[in-house]
Chain A
Amino acid sequence: MIELGIEEKTYTLNLGPQHPSTHGVLRVLLEMEGEYITKAEPVIGYGHRGHEHMAENRNYHQFLPNMARVDYLHALAYNQGYCMAVEKLLGITVPERAEYLRVILSEFNRISSHLVWIGAYLLDLGAFTPILYCFDDRENLLDLLDRITGSRLTYCFYRFGGVPLDLDDEFIAGARAFIKRLRTRFKDYNNLVTKNVIFINRTKGVGLISQEQCLKYGLTGPMVRGSGIPYDIRKSEPYSAYPAFDFEIPIGDKGDIMDRYLVRLREMEQSLRIIEQALDKLPNGPIMAEKVPKRVKPAEGEVYQAVETARGEFGCYIVSQGDVKPYRIKLRVPSFGNLSILPELAVDTLVADLVAILGSVDVVIPEIDR
């Protein structure tokens, strides 16, 4: 029975937990007038698994596998962040060869994360072919990483004090072959996607983020570089072996979705450059620090270690009270800050544009919900 004379104009819709464009279980509560969104409120927590609560009743070694399951697309950066934080607490210095190995594997993992994003994002915009290209490249990369780390996605490979296994010549040959192959593939991505008129119309001038908004919302990673701020932890707060390589930080100018896409695409080329230089200058020497205590029992104190992941700055903040178990671990995850700007970006946009904006934020839900 239609109630006549109702003047309720806004229509409330759940862009709910199970939705192809939310890359997982994120729910956005939309209030719309016709096609235009008046209010969008992300509701998170559907992927909350309690990593920080687990950290408090596990010792430092047992928490390592969790690190790969917070942001499973760039797991090695989280391993690196956590291991470096604990090494800072224990005062261990990692030998140079191990640092090079960590940089090589983290950069490979960054490329695989960007490949997943490009594929999934274009699937959101309705293009079905690019995800096949991206996953094809990614499978070659995963074969490479699978050889040395033993897993395809949730890597738990770094240890406190270094790396347990060393690279063999087959890995290095495979890495060089992969670099050569991926470089030829960038041409395909540009022709297939970047010059695609539908993609340009859907992303140019949509989802503009100003530098002032970046500051207020604490955005990091490609979101902030897309708006023209060259903020990359590998350059602004050099850690591990990154000072030894020269690479640029690609930045956009207007801060719309196209800029963020181009930043991620060019970042992959920079990662390839880093890996090449790392493979050329790979020093010999041990891959594990000499005296790494079996039972990790750091002194009292706290540490904050920031690392650049594919989505932004991951900060591992550990408070230790001299016990075998950490007293408190806070994981500063980039997507939590990056997503908090969505309500402001979504006002007065079309629903189709909201899907494009949400995809360009590159969220990984269990990373937001921890």
Chain B
Amino acid sequence: MLKDKLKKALAPLDLAQVADGDYAKTGYHLEVAARPEQMPAVAQAMLSQGCFLESLTAVDLRESFTLVYHFANFHELCRTVVHASLAKGAEAPTISQIYPGADWYEREVYDLFGIRFAGHPNLKRILLPEDADFHPLLKDFAAEAAND
């Protein structure tokens, strides 16, 4: 079963938590908690098992960010979510050299949240105009500043 193979692949990385997800309630088969520094290793392990990066996003929990990575597989149904909590102002390592698709996702997270990704080939805004100086999805984003 793919889930066991994934658990075996993720075991050596001593991640904070690798647990079965409750598919009926949350839609996940495997829930993983990791530190941002471990993300390239986690991504490499997932790629070795043939999983693709479904989506990469962030959630602003006011005092810290949570980077959320979703991995899925073409041939077998097993959705893995990886939560990596990141302090405000800290940098997360990029996984775009492992998953080239992550390049745009990381640029979008940078654009909307301001989280910088170390080692990203060209980290600049993707959705907002280049001269925008605000990050809209931050919880303390005052929209009036942007509408002047």
Contact = CB atoms under 8 A, between A and B. Distances in A.
A233 B54 CA distance: 13
B68 A317 contact: yes
Nearest to B23: A237
A56 B125 CA distance: 21
Given A45-B127, A48-B128, A315-B55, A301 B100 contact: no
Contact of B59 (A48, A224, A328): A328
Contacts of B108: 336
B54 A45 contact: no
Contacts of A303: 25-27
Contact-residue size bin, chain B (C-beta under 8 Å from the other chain): 35 or more
B44 interface: no
Contacts of B72: 306, 313
B52 A340 contact: no
B143 to A, nearest CB: 8
A184 interface: no
B81 interface: yes
B79 A50 contact: no
B126 interface: yes
A370 B109 CA distance: 13
A330 B57 contact: yes
Contacts of A336: 104-105, 108
Given A44-B127, A336-B104, A301 B25 contact: yes
B90 interface: no
Contacts of B50: 215
Interface residues of A, number: 41
A295 interface: no
Given A45-B128, A304-B70, A330-B55, A53 B136 contact: yes
A344 B100 contact: yes
A237 B28 CA distance: 12
A319 B137 contact: no
Contacts of B125: 45
B25 A337 contact: no
A50 B52 contact: no
A325 B70 CA distance: 23
A327 interface: yes
A88 B28 CA distance: 12
B11 interface: no
A154 interface: no
B89 interface: no
A332 B55 contact: yes
Interface in A48-82: 48, 50, 52-53, 56
Interface string A298-340: 0001111110000001010101000000011010100011001
Interface in B56-114: 57, 59-60, 68, 70, 72, 74-75, 77, 79, 81, 99-101, 103-105, 108, 112
A49 to B, nearest CB: 10
B24 to A, nearest CB: 8
Question: Considering the complex of A and B, which 5 residue pairs feature the smallest CB-CB distances, nearest first?
Answer: A332-B55, A217-B101, A218-B101, A45-B127, A304-B27
13 contacts: A45-B126, A48-B127, A216-B52, A218-B53, A229-B74, A237-B79, A301-B25, A304-B28, A317-B57, A328-B137, A336-B105, A337-B104, A370-B127
